[in-house]
Structure 1
């Protein structure tokens, strides 16, 4: 009887752990950095630490987005993507990111004509998550 209980307990723990691992799979942010003066992005970094991924997604989702087509004077500094679920479908959210000329804020736009200029604090936090460096000031 003790062996059966032990077996069932171990099986339950394994099932729960595998469910958590499946949930974590795909939870990453891929970042590309623009190379020199071209509009060519090269793979730069992947963020896979769960806490950082959640924080970055929270910053982006809670930003005060505006719906407007942005005519930029230059190429984006970075491009980043992360997966999300919408109507039980796996999708990829893709963003272009600029560092403002004063180096204090980040501006983000999407292909669907959404734009946001992040606050100083959100800019600093997101930049550190995406690059591993502090936002220059």
Structure 2
């Protein structure tokens, strides 16, 4: 758990540094995919269609978030992502994504796993398209 926290702090600092050096209006999103026993930094997507990221931000904002506590033995998230341009009070929202492959449903946590939401199939597909491309 401590290593994950250190990784998140390092990633946040790195992305804040990178984002603050950029003045263009391109959307940037960072995605990590869980493979084997580690997260692989899959993409630092420089030119993501703005419409796709705006739709994703809207889905996340409108999701039915609820209070949550992640169990210690819960499987690791399939993806971790964050928008490099989104900072509030010096903090960046990091989203953890679990994919229920049987139903193509996405489950998300944020705020150090204290918030949880399950998306409908349509919204799940939108998020998955963004993460996989």
TM-score w.r.t. structure 2 length? Answer: 0.70
Q: Measured at CA, do residues 91 and 35 of structure 1 come closer, stay the same or move farther in structure 2, by a change above 3 Å?
A: same
How many Å separate the matches in 1 of 2:51 and 2:23?
Answer: 16
Match of 1:41 among 39, 42, 52: 39
Runs of 4+ in 1 over 6 A off after TM superposition: none
| 1:50, distance to aligned residue in structure 2 (A) | 1.6
1:123 aligned onto 2:124:
yes
Flag the structure with larger Rg.
1
TM-superposed CA distance for 1:61, in Å, is 1.1
Where structure 1 has 5 or more consecutive residues not aligned to the other structure, the ranges are 1-20, 133-137
Q: Which residue of 2 aligns with 1:84?
A: 86
Q: Superposed, which structure 2 residues align to 1:1-137 within 5 Å?
A: 22=23, 24-25=25-26, 27-36=27-36, 38=37, 40-47=38-45, 48-71=48-71, 73-82=74-83, 83-86=85-88, 89-110=89-110, 111-132=112-133
Question: Structure 1's 90 and 124: CA in aligned 2 closer, same or farther, altered over 3 A?
Answer: same
RMSD: 2.1
Is the 1:45–1:131 contact (alpha carbons within 8 Å) kept by the matching residues of 2?
A: no
Q: Give the superposition deviation at 1:68.
A: 1.2
Q: Number of paired residues? A: 107
Q: Using a 3 Å threshold, how does the CA distance of structure 1 residues 52 and 101 change in structure 2: closer, same or farther?
A: closer
Q: Deviations over 1:1-37 (max 9, x none)?
A: xxxxxxxxxxxxxxxxxxxx93615x3111000112x
C-alpha distance in structure 1 between counterparts of 2:119 and 2:132, whole Å: 16
CA distance in 2, matches of 1:97, 1:112: 11
